[in-house]
């Protein structure tokens, strides 16, 4: 199993390498890939050093699977070139997500839609993945009509620049700004660029990707995405309206029995999800589960996950695992 990691020197790429090792993915040959300026650098994988190669070199090597985390432009330009030589690309950018010919996959929810013919498989947005992980089993049972989600998103979602800005501000250092405003002691209601409707791309990803993954365009979704000075993961306050009524204890039971979801929900012991404890873990944590007393058939919950892991690298590797397990690659 020849595996290329495209963007191996970036923040998500480094986590991908870590997760491939942790989960003992069957890598017989690892090919770390990055931009020309990183060619020749070394990355470590399972105690061995590997030299970074360029994109064309990796294409010529005809790898089995290429895990991409190198930005949308790179994905649009290079994913088809890898696919042409028979490589299955799993892409972590937003480039292919809403392409009607591509399947948007969270393996626990809809991995079964994948076939051998799927050579470019987009990975969903980090905030969408944790949202649908918690909502998919509830949608099956009660049918979702509407979702209102407010996100509190880690600076790691912006990459190294976001982390550096916060560290600089902690230390009183003037440096490069990843955001238009200081992030230390601040909350910025602006993730990604604004679209014509006044929503940001991040907010609209939550709308479009949720409908696509749950395979239901009738679900109404509205979102507000906020950047906060947090490192450990993304948090979401979610209000869901269902067609059918529910019992809160049954909701907890359904979530408790959902693979990849951990319920942390006991107000008597002050147990609820927090990014501080989600960091470095692959699960999606759900708590503060309670009925919305202002609307019929409505529920409030709080969802937290490490955006670099389940929100990005882990989900990408899980897609690859699904393909290998089912002989689709």
Longest CA–CA separation in the chain, Å: 60
Is 153 annotated to bind a ligand? Reply is yes
Q: Is position 294 annotated in a ligand binding site?
A: no
Q: Does 307 appear as a known binding residue?
A: yes
Query: Using CA atoms, how far apart are residues 240 and 180, in angstroms rounded to an integer?
Result: 32
Instruction: Give 115-120's long-range contacts (Cβ < 8 A, gap of 24+).
Output: 115/328, 116/328, 116/329, 118/88, 118/328, 119/83, 119/86, 119/87, 119/88, 119/89, 120/79, 120/80, 120/83, 120/89, 120/91, 120/96
What sign does the CA torsion over 229, 94, 108, 144 have?
Answer: positive
Residue pair 232/281 in contact by the 8 Å Cβ criterion: no
The response to whether 227 counts as a known ligand-binding position is yes
Q: In whole angstroms, how far apart are CA 79 and each of 88, 90, 183?
A: 9, 9, 34
97 is an annotated ligand-binding site residue? yes
Say if residue 222 carries a ligand binding annotation. no
Where in the sequence numbering do the catalytic residues fall? 126, 234
Residue positions in the annotated binding site?
9-12, 37-38, 97, 153, 227, 307
Residue positions in the annotated binding site for NADP(+)?
9-12, 37-38, 307
Residue positions in the annotated binding site for phosphate?
97
Residue positions in the annotated binding site for substrate?
153, 227
């Amino acid at each position: 199993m020849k595996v290329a990691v495209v963007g191996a020197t970036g923040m998500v790429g480094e986590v991908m390498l870590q997760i491939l090792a942790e989960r003992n993915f069957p890598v017989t040959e690892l090919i770390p890939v990055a931009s020309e300026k990183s060619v020749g650098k070394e990355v470590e994988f399972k105690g061995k050093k590997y030299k970074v190669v360029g994109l064309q070199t990796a294409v010529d090597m005809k790898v089995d699977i290429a895990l991409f985390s190198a930005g949308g432009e790179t994905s649009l330009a290079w994913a088809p070139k890898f696919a042409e030589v028979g490589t299955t690309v799993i892409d972590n950018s937003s480039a292919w997500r809403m392409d009607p010919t591509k399947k948007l996959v969270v393996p626990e929810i809809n991995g079964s839609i994948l076939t051998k013919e799927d050579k470019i498989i987009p990975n969903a947005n980090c905030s969408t993945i944790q949202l649908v992980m918690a909502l998919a089993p509830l949608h099956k049972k009660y049918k979702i009509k509407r979702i209102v989600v407010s996100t509190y998103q880690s600076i790691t979602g912006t990459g190294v620049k976001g982390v550096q800005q916060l560290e600089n501000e902690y230390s009183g250092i003037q440096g490069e700004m990843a955001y238009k405003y200081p992030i230390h002691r601040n909350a910025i209601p602006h993730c990604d660029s604004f679209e014509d409707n006044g929503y940001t791309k991040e907010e609209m990803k939550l709308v479009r990707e949720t409908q696509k993954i749950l395979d239901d365009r009738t679900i109404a979704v509205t979102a507000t995405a906020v950047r906060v000075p947090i490192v450990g993961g993304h948090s979401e306050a979610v209000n869901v309206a269902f067609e059918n009524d529910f019992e809160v204890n049954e909701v907890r039971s359904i979530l408790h029995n959902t693979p990849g979801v951990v319920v942390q929900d006991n107000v008597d012991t002050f147990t609820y999800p927090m990014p501080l404890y989600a960091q470095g873990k692959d699960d999606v944590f759900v708590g503060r589960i309670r009925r919305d007393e202002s609307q019929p058939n409505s529920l409030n919950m709080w969802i937290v996950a490490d955006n670099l892991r389940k929100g990005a690298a882990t989900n990408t590797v899980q897609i690859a695992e699904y393909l290998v397990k089912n002989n689709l690659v």
